[in-house]
Amino acid sequence: MKSEIGTALPVMEHFYTLQGEGFHQGKAAYFIRLGGCDVGCIWCDVKDSWDVEKHPLISIKDLLKEVKNTTTQIVVITGGEPLMHDLNNLTSALQQAGLKTHLETSGAHSFSGKWDWFCLSPKKFKAPLDENLSKANELKVVVFNTSDFDWAEKYAALVPADCKLYLQPEWDKAATITPIIIDYIKLHPQWELSLQLHKYINVP
């Protein structure tokens, strides 16, 4: 389901924090988490985002006002699954205000929006659309078990050659899976380790 005409979007939460994952880890960023997701990851840590009807529609004008009350230079649109919505008007407004737009998505829905950075995090529960693979600046694969390495390699072969490659332990299994990821990266150094830094330092 796409939001009506892209002038207001269902927002679960929005906040200013540090990017905790991937290539831009540690940078200040304003996060807008949109409601609605049909991917259904069993280990999802924001399942409250799934039901789009639970989350109020907030106008792009009001969201932009909140963002501009901070000193951020980066706005991350995440979810839920943000590509369930038309993101063209939101990203245009953000970029016209001089802000960098970053997308975090499974890629399972049609592409919309204007992006300075596109993080693709494919999920086995609903695979990304082929049309989205060529757009990825960053491929981030959550590793829940060792079979996920083959899944990661499948998509590493499909994204652009200069796409940054990350393996990230699923949070609840981090103690056991992180050492396995480290060993894998040592054998396959095209990959890098992504940790959920925000959870270690206890910020949103």
Question: Could you report the per-residue pLDDT of 51-69, keeping only the tens digit for each?
Answer: 888 999 999 999 999 999 9
Q: How does pLDDT run across 137-177, given as a tens digit for each residue?
A: 999 999 999 999 999 999 999 999 999 999 999 999 999 99
Q: Rounded mean pLDDT of the chain?
A: 93
Q: Classify each residue of 31-45 as buried b or exposed e, where b means 16 or more C-beta atoms within 10 Å of its C-beta.
A: bbbbbbbebebeebe
Residue 152: how many CB atoms within 10 A of its CB?
Answer: 23
> Given this model, what pLDDT does residue 82 score?
96
Residue 38 corresponds to which amino acid?
Answer: D
CB 123 within 8 A of CB 80: no
- pLDDT tier for residue 6 given thresholds of 50, 70 and 90: low
- Residue 3 banded pLDDT, cuts 50, 70, 90: very low
Choose among 82, 138, 140: nearest CA to 109: 82
pLDDT value at residue 4: 46
Q: Is the pLDDT assigned to residue 1 strictly greater than 70?
A: no
Angle in degrees, 0-180, between the axes of helices 88-96 and 60-68, rounded to the nearest 10:
30
Element (DSSP H or E) covering residue 99: none
Percent of the chain topping pLDDT 70: 97
User: Thinking of the domain 8-200, which architecture would CATH place it in?
Assistant: Alpha-Beta Barrel (3.20)
Nearest to 36 by CA among 25, 27, 44: 44
Q: Which two tokens stand for residue 12?
A: 């679960």
Kindly give the pairing relationship between strand 28-34 and strand 8-18.
antiparallel
Mean pLDDT over residues 84-105, rounded?
Answer: 97
pTM: 0.93
Residue 195, CB-side half-sphere exposure with 13 Å CA sphere? 13
Share of the chain above pLDDT 90, in %: 83
Cβ–Cβ under 8 Å, residues 197 and 26: yes
Give the domain ranges of the chain.
8-200
